[in-house]
Amino acid sequence: MKIPLKPTHLRRYRDVATLLIRYGRSDLVQQAGLDAMLEAADTTEEGVAQATELASDLEKLGPTFVKLGQMLSTRVDLLPLAYLEPLTRLQDQVEPFPYDEVRTIVKKELGVRISKAFSRFDRKPLAAASLGQVHRATLRDGRLVVVKVQRPGIRSQVKDDLEALTEIAGFLDRHTETGRRYGFGPTVSEFRRTLLQELDYRCEAANLKTMQRSLEPFERILVPAPVDDYTSSRVLTMEHVRGIKVDELNPVVRLDVEGSELAEELFRAYLHQILVDGLFHADPHPGNVFLTPDHRIALLDLGMVGRIPSPMQNDLLELLMAIGEGDGEGTASLALRLGEKILITMKLSFVGMSASSSRSIRRRRSPSSKSANSSCGYSALRRAAGCGSRLSSRC
């Protein structure tokens, strides 16, 4: 049986088929009937492409596939280890789009000209990625800000790509043994939800505010504040954070930084996000983690966040406790239970994890009990780290 082909998606069907053949899954191409989309040149390459080439192949296919590769880099159940490391280094940098288009988008989205809203607005972007680019600016009240402007036409492009991927994944799940085993549909469904949220900058603004409240007790962690009056679904204005990417620190700066204390603070902040709030910064690559001039850690780009329901938080805490206590059998049992719950959640299209970030903290259990549990979690995880892989014996 062949996948029903939509004329508008023919190019993407061909791209996906070529990619699968290059990396040794011609069986899926044949079972889905996508081999008819290919020219002879696509199927006669010598051998299977090297794992290190996958990242560059995805970059050539555009932003949707770059984001897909970043998501797959965490899926040890779907890809061999040889592919995971190259995918973690996927680059999301492209040529900036013209300033005239920036000016048009800002005026349409905010209802005011750049010259009226800002006393200064840099024509050259600080950074340009596949979904948008960032410009430094100054508000009329003197506040230094950065303005993220979404790339023209990117929404329709991403939606077309997602539709094609959804069709292919659904067909493979229904008609191939590999699809039934791994469940590509739920994975693509969650990826679709996450990426479409990332394209709505109002969601990121809400995430910034929620994360600011969450991490307020951590004095060495900084989250920039959004400027609501200058934010829309395609334009995000937030306070400007000066700093250096954590992977670009020179030796002199490193000598002057209390690295172990900063690492401990960041460690505790992430445990707090995961075990207490159930909302965490899900894209902490070096480009999104800065060291500020006053030696704080700034977490940037909250377009992608993860959510953990309370029952799963409890399971995670029990798992950490079991690891910390050297309970091998308990660890294995809890890990299996967690895996089963995650699989069920994926098949339900992550309904329990899709609540809006504005409700993610208010509707949790009482702060006192969660804070107490999180303290246990800090201790347990530190003990677990000291144990390494020796789960059968105590530290």
**Is 283 considered catalytic here?**
yes
List the catalytic residue out of 42, 200, 283, 327: 283
* Residue in 281, 257, 276 with CA at minimum distance from that of residue 217: 276
Residue 22 has a CB neighbour count (10 Å cut-off) of 19
Half-sphere exposure of 116 (CA within 13 A, CB side): 7
Sequence-distant (≥ 6) Cβ neighbours of residue 252 within 8 angstroms: none
Question: How would you write the chain as a 3-class SS string?
Answer: CCCCCCHHHHHHHHHHHHHHHHCCCHHHHHHHCHHHHCCHHHHCCCCCCCHHHHHHHHHHHCHHHHHHHHHHCCCCCCCCHHHHHHHHCCCCCCCCCCHHHHHHHHHHHHCCCHHHHEEEECCCCCEECCCEEEEEEEECCCCEEEEEEECCCHHHHHHHHHHHHHHHHHHHHHHCHHHHHHCHHHHHHHHHHHHHHHCCHHHHHHHHHHHHHHCCCCCCEECCCECHHHCCCCEEEEECCCCEEHHHCCHHHHHHCCHHHHHHHHHHHHHHHHHHHCEEECCCCHHHEEECCCCCEEECCCCCEEECCHHHHHHHHHHHHHHHCCCHHHHHHHHHHHHHHHHHHHHCCCHHHCCCHHHCCCCCCCHHHHHHHHHHHHHHHHHHHHHCCCCCCCC
- How many residues are there in the chain? 395
Active-site amino acid positions: 283
